[in-house]
Structure 1
Amino acid sequence: MADGRTTPPCVFLSLLLLLLLLLLSAANGLMQDFCVGELSVSDTPAGYPCKEVSAVTCDDFVFTGLGMPGDTSNLIKAAVTPAFVSQFPGVNGLGISAARLDIAPDGVVPLHTHPGGSELLFVIEGTICAGFISSANDVYYTTLNKGDTMVFPQGQLHFQINAGDVTAVAIVSFSSPNPGLQITAFALFANSLPSPLVEKVTFLDDEQVKKLKQVLGGSG
């Protein structure tokens, strides 16, 4: 050291022991094959805690829901069947998940974001008009046909619209076991935020805001 003092041997040994413990901990983490989510406890930003390996079964790694059509008899004429960690505990900690998207004729998945992950959409039936808006407000949209794939970067506003006359179906994958979802229209008009505030932040008039609140179930 600059003042001529040396590090005491006990301090050096303590630091070395700490380093070894950290290396062993990291090695054990890398050697862990999986971390099936223990859904009986609350989720955390880091995911669910791991289920005891002795309690893990093959069913934890299998999800069958994507083979069945979703119910599109709703306001947007679309349905999303998620295979996120809450439905599919085997994806916990793996940085992946999936979903099925069904959009009936004239159906739409309105502008929305997934704050927790990027999305990859693969069309397996029908025709879908899809696109996203970047943070620079640049617009990227196109018409996707059977076999086409499009990616939507994490956090970007994006949409899907049925562009044909038959139900469109797509399989979607995400770069997160829990990508999250916020639909812009519902965030603005399906809550109790007072109408004058909504009008102020959207530049819409009172009649338009109250009509949208009524349609989407908001109040205030």
Structure 2
Amino acid sequence: MNNARQQIFNRLKAAQPAPLENGSAERAQHFHPNDFSREEKLTHFQTALESNHAQVLPIDRQQLIATLRQLCAERGWQHAAIGTGGQWHHDFRQGLETIQITEYQQTIEQWKDDLFTTVDVGLTDARAGIADTGALVLWPDNHQPRTLSLVPPCHVAVIRQSTLFNSFSELMIAQQWHQQMPTNVVLVSGPSKTADIQQTLAYGAHGPRELIVIVVVDE
């Protein structure tokens, strides 16, 4: 199976782009990515997320621990789930020190009861953000499994302003996804929602009903 998959990837990498047909260049202009300034990226990113019922908190780097402590107090969290590593791991532990913390270092079978019934919030890093759609890009791994962002009723993601990109295509090119394609990518643009039942919009049906994005602004 691995050999077959590698052969497919090799053929895709070796393929030459087809020449543009007449009129294609003109149509392609409509898909040209925006060229936002640094501050415009943050504004568009925040506006798009907030329109999808997410909360966005731009803060300075030194405010992260205090912000987590304030969120704990305001929302009454008692139990948080975090990974075993990541860029903000130390900050997570300090900011959540007044409540119970469980690091995701067990199999899902060993702690799924607590995960689904007692954990109030899951915290993760975000690899990047997309300004024009207001989407977070997560690359789950062994240190921060995707369960942290999908199961707890609240998901808190921390992202650096410097990792905001104009568009998804710009992000893939800049981070050279064709060279290091992840096995799993999670795109998050707001809390979980559905209108399957009687066309009534409900939050939290298939995942977190609350999304809080902490943006560490550039110094």
More helix by share: 2
TM-score by length of 1: 0.24
The TM-score normalised by the length of structure 2 is: 0.24
The structure number with the bigger radius of gyration is 1
Whose RCO is larger (CA < 8 A, sep 6+)? Answer: 2
